[in-house]
C-alpha cells in the first residue's frame, strides 16, 4: 500500500475533484464539531495534509500522521512553504505500530477506513487515543460495488465503502456514543463501463 501512495504523492493535490471532496468534508466537520483553539488534533492518514491545513488555523496543534513517507515529504515541503508550524508530520501506521502516548481532543480519518483491514481494531485504537469527551470524525464512502478506485489503487482497498448502520454498530462496540452521520458530498466520476456514477461520501462522528 505504501508504495502506491509514495508514488502518487507528488501529484496528489492536482485533482480538482479531490480538493472539492476535501473542502466539502472539512466544511462539514466545522459544522458538526466546531473545532476550537484549545484542541489537539490527530489527522490520521493525512496524506499531503489537505485536512490538516484546513484545521490548523483554528486549533492548537495538528499531528498529521501517515504510513507513507512520500506523502509526508510533500506535507513537509508544504509546511516549509506556508510557515505554519502547528502541524507536526509523523510516520505512523496504527495497524502495525504501537500507539503514541499522546491524547487528542479530535481525531479525523478522511477516506482512510476503507484502506484499513480491521475496522473494529482501528476504532478501538482511536477511542484509546482520545481524551474523555473527545470526538472522532470518519469520512468515507457509502457501500459501492468496487468501481470507485482506479485499478492501480485497488490493491490498497479492504472495503468498498461502508454500510452506515454497520459502522455505527462497530463504533458503539468500541465505546463511542452520541453518534451522528450525514452525507458530506457526492463524488461523480467515470467508471470502467464508460458511464458516470455517483458515490456519496458520509461524515460520521462519535464522542468518547
Name the pTM for this structure: 0.93
Closest by alpha carbon to 69, among 119, 1, 129? 1
Residues with Cβ within 8 Å of residue 165, at least 6 apart in sequence: none
130 grid coordinates: 482520545
Return the pLDDT at 2.
62
Considering Cα of 145, then 165, then 65, then 122, what sign does the dihedral take?
negative
CATH of the domain at 101: 3.40.50.150
Question: Which DSSP letter does residue 145 get?
Answer: -
77 grid coordinates: 515541503
Return the pLDDT at 125.
97
Residues with Cβ within 8 Å of residue 64, at least 6 apart in sequence: 43, 46, 49, 52, 72, 75, 87, 88, 89, 90
Q: Are 138 and 201 in contact (CB under 8 A)?
A: no
- Strand positions, DSSP E, 58-168: 61-66, 87-91, 104-110, 130-141
Sites in the chain below the pLDDT cut of 70? 1-2
Range of the domain at 21: 2-207
Return the pLDDT at 87.
98
Return the pLDDT at 100.
86
Q: How many domains does the chain have?
A: 1
Return the pLDDT at 1.
54
Q: Are 87 and 53 in contact (CB under 8 A)?
A: yes
Most distant pair of Cα atoms in the chain: their distance: 48
Closest by alpha carbon to 150, among 51, 21, 5, 22? 5
28 grid coordinates: 462539514
Alpha carbon distances (Å) from 116 to 66, 157, 161:
12, 8, 11
Closest by alpha carbon to 44, among 177, 138, 143? 138
- Strand positions, DSSP E, the chain: 40-44, 61-66, 87-91, 104-110, 130-141, 177-190, 196-207
Amino acid at each position: 500500500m505504501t508504495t502506491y501512495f509514495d508514488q502518487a504523492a507528488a501529484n496528489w493535490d492536482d485533482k480538482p475533484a479531490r480538493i472539492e471532496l476535501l473542502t466539502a468534508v472539512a466544511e462539514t466537520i466545522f459544522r458538526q464539531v466546531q473545532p476550537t483553539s484549545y484542541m489537539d488534533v490527530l489527522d490520521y492518514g493525512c496524506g499531503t495534509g489537505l485536512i490538516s491545513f484546513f484545521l490548523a488555523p483554528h486549533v492548537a496543534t495538528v499531528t498529521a500522521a501517515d504510513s507513507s513517507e512520500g506523502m509526508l515529504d510533500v506535507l513537509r515541503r508544504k509546511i516549509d512553504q506556508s510557515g505554519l508550524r502547528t502541524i507536526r508530520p509523523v510516520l505512523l501506521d496504527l495497524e502495525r505500530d504501537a500507539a503514541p502516548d499522546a491524547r487528542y481532543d479530535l481525531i479525523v480519518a478522511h477516506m482512510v477506513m476503507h484502506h484499513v483491514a480491521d475496522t473494529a481494531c482501528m476504532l478501538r485504537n482511536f477511542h484509546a487515543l482520545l481524551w474523555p469527551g473527545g470526538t472522532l470524525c470518519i469520512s468515507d464512502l457509502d457501500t459501492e460495488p468496487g468501481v470507485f478506485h482506479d485499478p492501480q489503487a485497488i490493491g490498497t482497498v479492504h472495503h468498498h465503502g461502508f454500510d452506515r448502520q454497520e459502522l455505527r454498530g462497530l463504533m458503539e462496540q468500541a465505546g463511542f456514543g452520541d453518534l451522528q452521520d450525514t452525507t458530506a458530498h457526492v463524488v461523480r466520476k467515470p467508471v470502467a463501463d464508460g458511464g458516470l456514477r455517483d458515490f456519496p461520501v458520509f461524515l460520521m462522528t462519535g464522542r468518547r
